[in-house]
Amino acid sequence: MHFDCKTATDNSQTTNEAILLVPSGKIPCYVHPNVLRNDTPEEYVRQRVARSLVEEYGYNREDLHCEFSIKTGGGKRRRLDIAIFHAGTKHQPENILIIVEPKLRYQSSHCNSE
């Protein structure tokens, strides 16, 4: 849901800025700005990895796709966490450059004691 809001930048000018309201239990997708994803620890990891691919590794956000669906050899469909496509190409399976499957690591809550 978007709302337009007028914000004073100084005494003489105003600008229109869109404000995104995110419902409880959702987070905005870094790759697809108009998509809200479920607020889960796994999704936070995926969003952090996607941001890192763009901001630290230099991939264009337009060349990434979250939850890209492909057909496997057995005819079943599978969703890739993040697909990176060759720069500027259509998001089609034959144009995939890299498949990224980030995983959340759980730490053990118990220690071995002697």
Q: Which residue has the tokens 């763009």?
A: 54
- Give the tens place of pLDDT for each residue, 23-77: 899 999 999 989 999 999 999 999 999 999 999 999 999 999 999 999 988 889 9
Query: What global pTM score does this model have?
Result: 0.73
* Distance (Å) of CA 9 to CA 5, 19, 92: 12, 16, 43
What b-and-e string marks burial along 18-50, b requiring 16 or more CB atoms within 10 Å of the CB? eeeeeeeeeeebbbeeeeebeeeeebeebbebb
| pLDDT tops 50 at residue 114 | no
Would you put residue 71 in left (φ > 0), alpha (ψ -120 to 50) or beta? beta
Residue-level pLDDT at 66? 97
Q: What does the mean pLDDT of the chain come to?
A: 85
